[in-house]
Amino acid sequence: MAEGPLVGLVLVSHSSPVAESVAGLAVALAGVDTVTVEPAGGTADGGYGTDADRIVAAVRAADRGAGVGLLVDLGSAVLTVKSLVEDEELPANARLLDAPFVEGAVAAVVTASTGADLDAVEAAAQEAYGYRKV
């Protein structure tokens, strides 16, 4: 149904395998391969942590012209993305999504695949907080 470019997503985790796995999981559960999901996990030397340069590169790679949503795990991942947004080091159409990492990623990929805009993708990711497990 989507005609124009789709919203892209970037997954920022302290761990490179976590970012890659959640990207794979979200795409698999969404059942689509049309949405660009870029993992940005770990540090440049392969350790646990956050790499600002890697995040900036991932956002550029995920940008198809319809905006980019970033999902983050915790701590320095949150603060690094916030400071990059604050200092305008990311494209103007890139936005930190306030959402749980795994559930938010699945909701965001599914929503993005329908051609929804960044506001709708953000709302869907955020709604994932409302799903209680107990």
Measured from the CB of residue 33, what is the shortest distance to other proteins in angstroms?
32
Selected binder of other proteins within 24, 33, 75, 119 (CB under 8 A): 75
H or E element that contains 8: strand 8-13
**Long-range Cβ contact pairs of 52-60 (< 8 A, separation 24 or more):** 52/80, 52/84, 52/89, 55/10, 55/12, 55/80, 55/81, 55/84, 55/90, 56/84, 56/89, 56/90, 58/10, 58/12, 59/10, 59/90, 59/91, 59/94, 60/91
Q: Is 40 in the site for other proteins (CB under 8 A)?
A: no
Nearer to other proteins, 20 or 51 (CB): 51
Stretch that binds other proteins, among 30-38, 60-68, 74-82, 106-114 (CB under 8 A): 74-82
Determine, following the binding rule CB under 8 A, whether residue 38 of this chain makes contact with other proteins: no
Stretch that binds other proteins, among 16-24, 58-66, 83-91, 108-116 (CB under 8 A): 83-91
Q: How far apart are alpha carbons 26 and 38 in whole angstroms? A: 11
Give, as ranges, the residues between 93 and 132 that touch other proteins (CB under 8 A): none
The residues that touch other proteins, with contacts defined as CB under 8 A, are 43, 47, 49-53, 75-76, 79-80, 82-84, 86-87
